[in-house]
Amino acid sequence: MKKFTRVSAIAASLALGTSMAIGVTASHAAGTTLTMIAADYPGDGSTQQAQWTDFATRFHAANPDITVNVTVKSWNDIDQYVATQIAAGKTPDVVNKGDYSAPAAAGLLYPASQMVSASTLADILPTFLNNSKYNGTVYALPDLASARALFYNKDLLTKAGVTKLPTTWSQLYTVLGQIHRKLPGVYGYALPLGPEEAQAEFNIWAGGNGGQYYDYATSKWVLNSAANVATATYLKSLVSKGYTEPNPDKCDRTACAQALFAAGKAVFINGSVFLGSWLKSNGGAKINFGTGSFVSNTGHKAVTLGVQDYFTAYKANGNQAAIQKWMDFIFQPANYAKFLVAAGGFIPATKSAGAKAASDPALAPFIKLLPNAVFYPGDIASWNAVKGQIQQGIGQAVTGNPNSVLNSLQTQAAAAK
């Protein structure tokens, strides 16, 4: 018995020693392996996998001691996938998706100053960096941004006899009424308050009435503010008149609102930078559309919604040096331009690329609207949770009772961790 124990102990220690030795040699030979999880931007059926594989291959050629594995995930799956990887102890090194505040609050992230070199950081537009802070420290790098504009179907407007674009809520109400009378079967405004992107749609309308989701002055969620209730009440009046599609609380952006616009069944729609190219590949190539500024309530400025996404770097694997090399590589102007092309026509987050984009006819109208952009309160740790609640619930504020729906959302937001 004793002998057996001793033998097995020796065997075990030998095995351990060997494996440690192998481990050491292996890490010398293979160097660092970075894992990255990236959201897939293109909405036209292509994917960014090829672009990321190309980046990883060229990066490895230039830095033989660093291997990068990029996993590309759809926007529907990525939040869940990243959370599952972290919970399973397989924390990625770099993530590219739409939020950063929760991991920043949990202390999982490197600050931006450690993610890239000082010169790369200096090239990133300050507006976007300002939206990437948690408790005053920049914890994420903006990868790109988008803005919204009011898209309208020119042919339908002509048919309805509308000659002047509305700029205020009351003018819009009149114009939509005129469309309703002249063009049966056509909805004046496609209002996507279904779960897919209700938070964006409502944010733009509320912004045009001086409303917002979060009040930085008092550090409180203000979902049921008087301005927001008035916004919901105004939208409810459009819905009940039949100026929008029926059941806006069930209408998702892509499958419902954009599809109606592509089919020539909606005159106005809130569209992102990529709506033009989306229409081409989704049966709306013939739509003769124009873009303009959103409407606002009298006495308020019209706003647009700016949305930016982020690169974040996790501390768990301690690969800070390798991460910095990789991120600097991504932000090299030539590579960054390729990233933007693969993603499909977004607004760049760097000064060098931004200068070029300003002369791009597809992007110029959006860049012009950017100074009046409002952003999501993405730096608040509970934003992701509150966003989910808004997406589920806010549609019912325009089909049901605006007051009670917004009050209920406010209660839930205040309770969100």
Query: Which of 189, 391, 402, 406 contacts another protein by CB under 8 A?
Result: 391
395 is a contact residue toward another protein (CB under 8 A): yes
Choose the stretch contacting another protein; rule: CB under 8 A; options: 114-122, 301-309, 350-358, 390-398: 390-398
374 is a contact residue toward another protein (CB under 8 A): no
135 is a contact residue toward another protein (CB under 8 A): no
220 beta partners: 215
Compute the least distance from the CB of residue 80 to another protein, in Å: 6
Query: Which of 34, 70, 229, 260 contacts another protein by CB under 8 A?
Result: 260
Query: Which of 49, 53, 60, 79 contacts another protein by CB under 8 A?
Result: 79
Please identify, using beta-carbon distances, which residue of 212 and 382 lies nearer to another protein: 382
Choose the stretch contacting another protein; rule: CB under 8 A; options: 166-174, 344-352, 361-369, 388-396: 388-396
254 is a contact residue toward another protein (CB under 8 A): no
Whole-angstrom Cα distance, residue 310 to residue 287?
A: 33
Please identify, using beta-carbon distances, which residue of 145 and 251 lies nearer to another protein: 251
Considering only residues 261 through 280, tell me which ones interact with another protein, judged by CB under 8 A.
Answer: 265
Choose the stretch contacting another protein; rule: CB under 8 A; options: 21-29, 75-83, 217-225, 300-308: 75-83
Whole-angstrom Cα distance, residue 6 to residue 3?
A: 5
Q: Are strands 220-221 and 214-215 parallel, antiparallel or unpaired?
A: antiparallel
Map tokens 């990066």 to a residue: 59
Please identify, using beta-carbon distances, which residue of 146 and 391 lies nearer to another protein: 391
412 is a contact residue toward another protein (CB under 8 A): yes
Query: Which of 103, 142, 348, 378 contacts another protein by CB under 8 A?
Result: 103
Positions in the binding site for another protein (CB under 8 A): 79-80, 82-87, 102-103, 105-106, 108, 194-195, 246-247, 249-250, 259-260, 265, 384-385, 388-389, 391-393, 395-396, 399, 405, 408, 411-412, 415-417
